[in-house]
Amino acid sequence: MDDALNSYMTGPDEAGRFGIFGGRFVSETLMPLILELEAQYEHAKTDPTFWAEMNDLWTHYVGRPSPLYFAERLTDHLGGAKVYMKRDELNHTGAHKINNVLGQIILARRMGKTRIIAETGAGQHGVATATVCAKFGLKCVVYMGAHDVERQAPNVFRMKLLGAEVIPVTSGRGTLKDAMNDALRDWVTNVRDTFYCIGTVAGPHPYPAMVRDFQSIIGKETKQQMMEREGRLPDTIIAAIGGGSNAMGLFHPFLDDKTVRIIGVEAGGKGVDDRMEHCASLTGGRPGVLHGNRTYLLQDADGQILEGYSISAGLDYPGIGPEHAWLHDVGRAEYVAITDAEALEAFQLCCRLEGIIPALEPSHALAHVMKIAPTLPRDHLIVMNLCGRGDKDIFTVARHLGVTMSV
Amino acid sequence: MSRIDETFVRLRSRGRKAFVAYIMAGDPDADTTLDLMRGLPAVGVDVIELGMPFTDPMADGPTIQAAGQRALESGMTVDRYLDLVRAFRAQDSTTPIVMMGYYNPIYSRGVDRFVAEAVQAGIDGLIIVDLPPEEDAELCLPARAAGINFIRLATPTTDDRRLPKVLQNTSGFVYYVSITGITGAAAAQATDVGPEVARIKAATDLPVIVGFGITTPEAAETIARVADGCVVGSAIVKEIGAGRPVPEVLARVASLAAGAHRA
């Protein structure tokens, strides 16, 4: 009993709430579907054959476990804490997204669904979904904001090569939020045969918990690998947050390890101030209801949702997963913001010092590592989640650095 | 008895089906909306469904999305929405007004404050798309306690097992969504809708009104015949979006209402 009360790992409750956050704010048409999904997931969760299939695919298709890498030159350069990188960018498809997609697609197959829809921002979740659908011969439709289709062209082509249909979304500003609206509209229309594969720890219950559970493989491996390497837990763990799935995956297994400092890094865009040219929902937003859950949102005084801005398409979302909102309010995790400029600097440093081209999303996490590592003692262990590789971002980075590339 | 209950008692005593018209508050501007609202009862509208715009209308098709966008650009806010209702109420004390929208603008304002203001302004019912019965404690129960009808959507996916839960705290009427989909999409089919309405009516004494996918006077007639009435939204909003003057929009509404009233 005391253990349950003292644990940060027992949520959500039966109503899908983490404190006041989460819930099931969807239209009646979708309600029976998410209840069915919840029942199926609850069953799968304790079914050894489900996890056997997951583990087999994680090992032989994704390439897990991903390495825990000691970034020696970066550590020397920063001159403080010892920096480790959890190399989820080495996964098949180049990011952590596939960890979750595999789980949801196996579930969809068990539920007899034949058509998979997904929303995508940077395109990483779209690529992962298209990939797994190709592997299992499922029809795949990906909604992507028209603005993101433009800035993530390589991933759009990848999805098409993998047989997916990519639908550019022109409503709103044409980013992840708008893609999610249209995916929900598709789902409400095609309820019988369609499974909505959400890419982050947001949306109506059970998605935030389910996606977290699938991504928790990141934190579980990290814990074991750190014990093997250093014989103890890390002191600080850090991850970037858009919706927050890679961060939740790293954080969750450590929530009850009170000595571990947990830091989430939001996209500060051009700076977190009242111009609202950022995507830092926790730092610059307040609680509201969108896309099926209550969480911190960027919104105006009248409860209308603001667009947000970030150099990184994967972080360009005005909300955040409800469990992060709760961890923020109860103070178990800290949340900070990193600007576009700081992320770009970290991106380049990682390329030069470690021979790793990181995605712009984890470059935000790395930028915060660069801020705090020099202030910490040499025996302080930091793990940052290098959740995606940067091949998709080189055009964006080139543009920001004033380099013209011709292909 | 609420204004909505009284309206249905009156309609029933005259053997008439209800015609519900949806327009978006502030599309293209608040003055036009008020002119339209004042004209609707005279052309046969029994209940006015007044949309509150939201940036992310996940249950709506392109027509209503665009109307919401225009309304927000014209400066529509919850304050101005309440002003519109007050201005309408000053001249019409019988036609029910149902607010249709999404939860966040209400949540952002504070539920208790909103409910008090809604009662004072003369809002009779709420249709909040993203509040299923699982979230009744949020707004449904406080609104009911204040005498506002909370009108629930029942859909083709609401099976017999779930129906009692959907009906439990519903009042005013039940809004049957004729299709799985968004507003203004596929056409509602009376052959599908009839048995579904009968199924719901077997479980409740409340009137059952059918909406989504009704665009012509003929469709209004055939759908209203198998229910207690029907809602038309996108077809009217499309006329407003095309920039038609108020009398032309009202003439179009009159023909749709006549269709429903023939049933």
A184 and B129 in contact by Cβ < 8 A? no
Are the CB atoms for A305 and A324 separated by under 8 Å? no
B181 and A188 in contact by Cβ < 8 A? yes
* Close Cβ partners of A151 (under 8 Å, ≥ 6 residues apart): A313, A395, A396
Domain, as residue range, for B125: 3-262
A181 and B77 in contact by Cβ < 8 A? no
A303 and B106 in contact by Cβ < 8 A? yes
What single string gives the DSSP state of each residue in A226-249? Answer: HHHHHSS--SEEEEEESS-HHHHH
Residue B27: phi and psi, rounded to 5, are -105, 115
Does pTM top 0.90 for this prediction? Answer: yes
Sign of the torsion formed by the C-alpha atoms of B89, B91, B92 and B93? positive
SS3 content of chain B, % helix, strand, coil (to 5): 50, 15, 40
Provide the pLDDT for residue A216. 98
β-pair partners for A115: A139, A194
B135 and A24 in contact by Cβ < 8 A? yes
Instruction: Residue B182: list chain A partners with CB under 8 A.
Output: 185, 188-189
What does the pLDDT look like over A235-261, one tens digit per residue? Answer: 999 999 999 999 999 999 999 999 999
pLDDT interval class at A4 (50, 70, 90): low
Are the CB atoms for A370 and A346 separated by under 8 Å? yes
B49 is catalytic: yes
Question: What total number of domains does chain B contain?
Answer: 1
For an interface test with B, which of A21, A304, A306 has the most B Cβ atoms less than 10 Å from its Cβ?
A: A304
Candidate from A15, A289, A299 with C-beta closest to B134: A15
**Count of positions (residues) in chain B:** 263
pLDDT interval class at A314 (50, 70, 90): confident
User: How distant is the Cα of B177 from the closest Cα of chain A, in angstroms?
Assistant: 9
User: How distant is the Cα of A318 from the closest Cα of chain B, in angstroms?
Assistant: 12
B60 is catalytic: yes
pLDDT at B192 exceeding the cut of 70? yes
Give which of B16, B11, B19, B10 is closest to B44, Cα–Cα.
Answer: B19
CA distance B34 to B32: 5
pLDDT at B27 exceeding the cut of 70? yes
Give the domain CATH number at B243.
3.20.20.70
Whether B109 and chain A come into contact, CB under 8 Å, resolves to yes
User: How distant is the Cα of B60 from the closest Cα of chain A, in angstroms?
Assistant: 8
Whether B188 and chain A come into contact, CB under 8 Å, resolves to no
What does the pLDDT look like over A96-110, one tens digit per residue? Answer: 999 999 999 999 999
Task: Determine the residue type at B169.
Answer: N
What does the pLDDT look like over A29-50, one tens digit per residue? Answer: 999 999 999 999 999 999 999 9
Task: Write out the two tokens for B105.
Answer: 């603008």
CA distance A321 to A16: 12
Q: Is the ipTM of this complex over 0.90?
A: yes
Provide the pLDDT for residue A315. 86
CA distance B217 to B214: 8
As a whole number, mean pLDDT of residues A177-183 equals 94
